[in-house]
A and B are shown apart, each in its own frame.
Chain A
């Protein structure tokens, strides 16, 4: 079946620290992979995506590389800011599933000044 596993939170970092949030997946076929971000009181927003192996998605200083050999899509940012405090969700969309998405449980990030 299709599923996503991401690291448990919460994660607390100091401003300018390096961020990694781990995400691994199980999928039939060749999925597309996504990271979404949710700020307090809001819906999920698409942060970045990758549609095939070795693709790197990037946006707002965040990056993630689609690693087929390790079935991973880890989110990284070199220097976090207080404004990055949010919940981050890893997700996949598998072919032939009626456009269904499968989400991880979310990782809460708090960045302190």
Chain B
């Protein structure tokens, strides 16, 4: 258990409204990630962070922004939600094992944009 929580776990919102999803970790991991999961696409990386205030774009970053003002929190914001952003969102951290890194995932947030 990597101590990752996500909030909210479920959210329904309307097109055009801003939405912020929160990822919280308790073990001081440097690397944090946001993915979206959609049928037929597996997991796709949205943004990631390699430290406080250090973030970078992933494969599908358009329409999303992130912030990391504290080590333990990584926020994902949809500035103006669209129906194409209906998805399940997962936060993850990377943990070094000495030989490689392993990723551990939060429980997910199911977002529906109507």
Contacts and interface: CB of A to CB of B under 8 A. Distances in A.
Whether chains A and B associate is: yes
Given A51-B99, A99-B94, 11 more contacts: A34-B102, A43-B106, A45-B105, A49-B100, A51-B100, A98-B56, A99-B50, A99-B101, A100-B58, A101-B103, A106-B42
Contacts of A73: none
For the residues of B in contact with A, the DSSP-based class is strand
A42 B100 contact: no
Contacts of B42: 89, 103-106
B60 interface: no
Interface of B: 4, 31, 33, 40-43, 45, 48, 50, 56, 58, 90, 92, 94, 99-108
A32 B96 CA distance: 12
Among all A-B residue pairs, the 5 with the closest Cβ atoms: A43-B105, A105-B42, A32-B100, A103-B43, A99-B94
Contacts of B99: 32, 51
Interface in A37-86: 42-46, 49, 51
A75 to B, nearest CB: 15
A44 B48 contact: no
17 contacts: A34-B103, A43-B4, A43-B90, A43-B105, A43-B107, A44-B90, A44-B105, A45-B105, A46-B102, A91-B103, A98-B50, A98-B56, A99-B94, A100-B48, A103-B43, A105-B42, A106-B42
Contacts of A104: 42
Contacts of A100: 45, 48, 58
Contacts of B106: 43
A71 B13 CA distance: 43
A44 to B, nearest CB: 5
A24 interface: no
